[in-house]
């Protein structure tokens, strides 16, 4: 197996963290980096305690809650400095099945893909625990992003993915401006635009196991206006 690292960003995930780390370790030999944004509930301290007693578990602490994008970029830089060949992204709330992580890494290692996405919106993919309205909103958002950006990726907002680090280095992380879930769209689209292959593997996405969702209106608004601006820029540049 290539050197791979899964980055798990956290903010107030103390009820989920120990379980998700245990499940990742039970299903894969991948290293784990917890990136905590100064959680006031003690998530960071719990991550440190686990890392001190558990092989291949590491922590990275940030002092403020700055959003998903900056947390992942900090994790990517940590991986670059340690020469990992692959980085994976995964939520801490149990929405992504750790048993599938090894499958995504294996697909990445045995293909030419720079990006392997655990996708809800390809045949075989599904969501468990969401209302029809919430699912419809997510489908519509992904559809709008695909249309505006001219993308062939079905699940641009997916947060369960594996990325080849040398491909990630080429997308110029210092110029990425998205802080919320729009970050996922921006990174995936930039990789797609390089001409690198992208593979989508169907997954079952489940509602979080405990705690409170970090999704809020501001994240949705950021995604909509950024996608619209990128789409307009794409039209103008033709």
Q: Where are the domains of the chain?
A: 4-236
What is the DSSP code (8-state) at residue 115? E
Instruction: Please tell me the predicted confidence (pLDDT) of residue 220.
Output: 65
In CATH, the number for domain 4-236 is 3.90.550.10
Instruction: Please tell me the predicted confidence (pLDDT) of residue 30.
Output: 95
Longest Cα–Cα distance in the chain = 55
167, containing H or E segment: helix 165-169
The pLDDT of 54-77, averaged and rounded, is 94
What is the DSSP code (8-state) at residue 173? G
Q: What is the dihedral of CA 189, 81, 42, 180, to 10 degrees?
A: -20
231 has pLDDT over 90: no
Instruction: Express each pLDDT in 209-220 by its tens digit.
Output: 665 555 555 656
196 has pLDDT over 70: yes
63 has pLDDT over 80: yes
Report the distance separating Cα 48 and Cα 57, nearest Å. Answer: 9
The pLDDT of 109-121, averaged and rounded, is 96
The pLDDT of 83-110, averaged and rounded, is 95
Question: Angle 226-128-71 (CA atoms, 0-180°, nearest 5)?
Answer: 40
Instruction: Please tell me the predicted confidence (pLDDT) of residue 219.
Output: 58
pLDDT band at 161 (very low <50, low <70, confident <90, very high): very high
CB contact at 8 A, 58 and 33 = yes
The pLDDT of 96-108, averaged and rounded, is 95
Instruction: Please tell me the predicted confidence (pLDDT) of residue 65.
Output: 84
Instruction: Express each pLDDT in 197-211 by its tens digit.
Output: 999 999 999 986 665
Average pLDDT, the chain: 90
pLDDT band at 66 (very low <50, low <70, confident <90, very high): confident
Instruction: Please tell me the predicted confidence (pLDDT) of residue 238.
Output: 63
Instruction: Please tell me the predicted confidence (pLDDT) of residue 182.
Output: 87
Instruction: Please tell me the predicted confidence (pLDDT) of residue 103.
Output: 96
Instruction: Please tell me the predicted confidence (pLDDT) of residue 130.
Output: 82
CB contact at 8 A, 118 and 100 = yes
């Amino acid at each position: 197996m290539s050197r791979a690292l899964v980055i798990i960003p956290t903010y107030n995930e103390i009820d989920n963290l120990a379980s998700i780390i245990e499940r990742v370790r039970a299903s894969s030999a991948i290293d784990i980096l917890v990136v905590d944004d100064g959680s006031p509930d003690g998530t960071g301290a719990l991550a440190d305690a686990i890392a001190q007693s558990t092989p291949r578990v590491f922590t990275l602490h940030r002092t403020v809650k700055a959003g998903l994008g900056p947390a992942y970029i900090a994790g990517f830089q940590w991986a670059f400095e340690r020469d990992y060949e692959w980085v994976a992204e995964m939520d801490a709330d149990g929405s992504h099945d750790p048993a599938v992580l090894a499958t995504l890494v294996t697909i990445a290692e045995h293909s030419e893909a720079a990006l392997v996405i655990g996708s809800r919106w390809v045949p075989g993919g599904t969501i468990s625990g969401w209302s029809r309205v919430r699912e419809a909103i997510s489908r519509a958002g992904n559809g709008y992003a695909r249309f505006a950006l001219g993308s062939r990726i079905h699940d641009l907002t997916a947060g369960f993915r594996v990325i080849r680090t040398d491909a990630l280095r080429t997308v110029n992380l210092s110029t990425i401006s998205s802080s919320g879930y729009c970050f996922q769209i921006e990174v995936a689209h930039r990789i797609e635009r390089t001409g690198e292959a992208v593979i989508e593997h169907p997954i079952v996405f489940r509602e979080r196991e405990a705690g409170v969702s970090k999704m809020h209106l501001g994240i949705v608004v950021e995604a909509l206006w950024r996608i619209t601006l990128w789409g307009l820029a794409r039209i103008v540049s033709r």
